[in-house]
Chain A
Amino acid sequence: MENLGTVLRIIAAKQTLPGALLPILHEIQEALGCIPSESVPPIAKALNLSRAEVHGVITYYHHFRQTPPGRHVVRVCCAEACQAVGGEALAEHARARLEGSDLTLEPVYCLGLCAIGPVLQIDETTLHARVTPEKFDTLMHALEEDQ
């Protein structure tokens, strides 16, 4: 219910923007880590949309999540420029390494660091270039230690 209050505050602040749905969804996800299902009806009501339309938008975009992620989100670039320098092997390694971990692993298709791959991003804040499996393990170890 505490979440619902946050959601209502965000809706009230943004609903008059032209094309307000994505800005609202982004802000909810930034505040709560995901877009909980109880936020769909008030968004739909405020923007005069059906719940199906709001749900459709949330599920269309890869960026939006309906459930909270792990303690950290680790995104490994799987696009061509990183593939050319071992990105697929890194992604394989990452899958095996983070099996059962409380870190969330996601593919990402290009971070715009295409000359210094393979690259990864942690929590949309930290970037790492020229990542080898060994460097990946060191980074993950640091994240796991940092409780």
Chain B
Amino acid sequence: MSVTVYVPGDAAALALGADSVADAIVTEAARCGINIRLVRNGSRGMLWLEPLVEVSTPRGRIAYGPVAAPDVSSLFAAGCMSGGAHPLGLGITDELPWLKRQQRLACRRIGVVDPHSLDDYLAQDGGEGLRCARAMAPVEIVRAVADSGLRGRGGAAFPTGIKWQTVLDTPATQKYVVCNADEGDSGTFSDRLLMEGDPFQLLEGMAIAGLAVEATMGYIYIRSEYPHAIAALNAALDGARNWLGDFEIEVRKGAGSYVCGEETALLESLEGRRGIVRAKPPLPAISGLFDQPTVINNVMTFGSVPDILARGASHYHEIGCGRSRGTLPFQLAGNIKYGGLVEVPFGLTLRELLYDFGGGSHSGRPLRAVQVGGPLGAYLPETQFDTVLDYEAFAAIGAGLGHGGIVAFDDTVDMARQARYAMKFCAIESCGKCTPCRIGSTRGVEVIDRIRDGQAEQVELLRDLCDTMTHGSLCAMGSMTSIPVLSALDHFSEDFRGMRA
């Protein structure tokens, strides 16, 4: 009998020394004559506890963390291989309040399943959605997705069923399914966690999309900054070819362009060109990759689909609030005490997420500003922390949930500096197609510098510039850079009073 020990192979765990912990466990087990089976799982998403070591026992999986390599000998001395007590012991993983208060659907197997094993995936209810979809007509699959109320998880929150219906209704000899895995927003990492921790679920979601729209070819376009996720997907694909049947999937690596997260720029890049956005229409659903009808969705959108097929649309639709159905995997990031992955139904408040889950700031200082939805998302002050987390409530305050990334800042933040960074980032990453974005962003940096130098009258010019960028740019890069800039200006005007050091 061997003991199953889990040491995450997730990039976040590796960055905190998981490989040396795994090595130490193998060595120590050999020294103690204990036979172990080491599984390199994904991360449970409690990133402040990584590397989180789990030991399988009759009581369930027992967690220890954060474990460093020098802790390993004392863990063995305390009998951790049978769940023995130790100062790093956390008890049964599934009973940890931080996990227990979540409602994980798309992320429920991350950190639980062995991401290298299709058999383990199938043994843990994986594949059920694809099995159901294979017995359904395309139009029935599309209807199930539409009825679930699922909206695109990449940020734009467009109803997935409508997109799929459009592709299904557009005749073509070759259609495509493209997964947008260009998770470039700072503060977001749920796609990465899924791809590294439960890659077969993404493949399953794409295969279901293929059946739904009658496409036989899929591409995963993934950012080059995610080498571990690329390796995990390729390994999963090697083991999944038979299971996927006629549906083929290929992983394509991006090359460090933020704007390629925009769907039309992504398609340009996939076709081998610079990632310059296309004007819409035509919609990608009608004329997308290689001018063919294309379903293009985010990782989490595809990741949500298998469950909808397996458990039924109404099961998914019953969760959530208002027009935001289901769950959203939020990501707590930046200056936050308990950062990580929180998948909950829509409807909590931002404050609950920041304090009940996040525990306040990492630095121990008061939280002053929170950026929700990536570099193009609004900076919210404390007075807006009670906003309900659903798409419409955020839109009503001029903000957006985006991909669910939440970056917290304490009271040492200089919001004029953050506004300047938003413009600078736009200048670095603009594809150059629209003049207001290409040139306006550089002018924006200069104007903010002048304001910070004390020229208060330049604020009006900054507002004008933001207006031009918003209305004169094709995609979100140029048109939404004004959101962090203006929210910083509106809510933290005291930082714009020209006190630059």
Contacts and interface: CB of A to CB of B under 8 A. Distances in A.
Main secondary structure of the interface of A (DSSP, over half): loop
Interface stretch (A5-13, A59-67, A93-101): A59-67
Contacts of A112: 11-12, 183, 188-189, 191-192, 225-226, 229
B389 interface: no
Interface residues of B, number: 60
A79 B15 contact: no
Contacts of A25: 255
Interface string B248-290: 0000111111100000000001111111000000000000001
Interface of A: 18-23, 25-26, 47, 53, 56-57, 60-64, 79-85, 108-117, 119, 121, 124-125, 127-130
B353 interface: no
Closest 9 CB pairs of A and B: A115-B339, A21-B272, A79-B186, A84-B334, A114-B333, A61-B255, A63-B256, A127-B15, A62-B256
Interface string B89-118: 000000000000000000000000000000
A15 to B, nearest CB: 11
A79 B375 contact: yes
A22 B331 CA distance: 31
B11 A113 contact: yes
B421 A116 contact: no
Nearest to B273: A57
Q: Of A60, A115, A117, which is in contact with the most chain B CB atoms at under 10 Å from its CB? A: A115
Interface in B217-255: 224-227, 229, 252-255
Nearest to B432: A60
Given A47-B272, A80-B421, A117 B256 contact: no
B252 A22 contact: yes
A103 B257 CA distance: 23
Nearest to B340: A115
Contacts of B50: 116
Contacts of A62: 255-257
A19 B271 contact: yes
Nearest to B185: A110
B76 interface: no
Contact of B15 (A23, A81, A128): A128
A84 B407 contact: yes
B47 A116 contact: yes
20 contacts: A56-B274, A60-B275, A61-B275, A62-B256, A64-B255, A79-B425, A80-B375, A84-B407, A84-B409, A84-B410, A85-B363, A110-B186, A112-B189, A114-B333, A114-B407, A115-B333, A116-B12, A116-B15, A117-B334, A129-B16
B273 A115 contact: no
Interface string B207-219: 0000000000000
Nearest to A121: B225
Contact of A22 (B15, B255, B421): B255
Contact of A84 (B48, B255, B275, B408): B408
Contacts of A23: 252-253
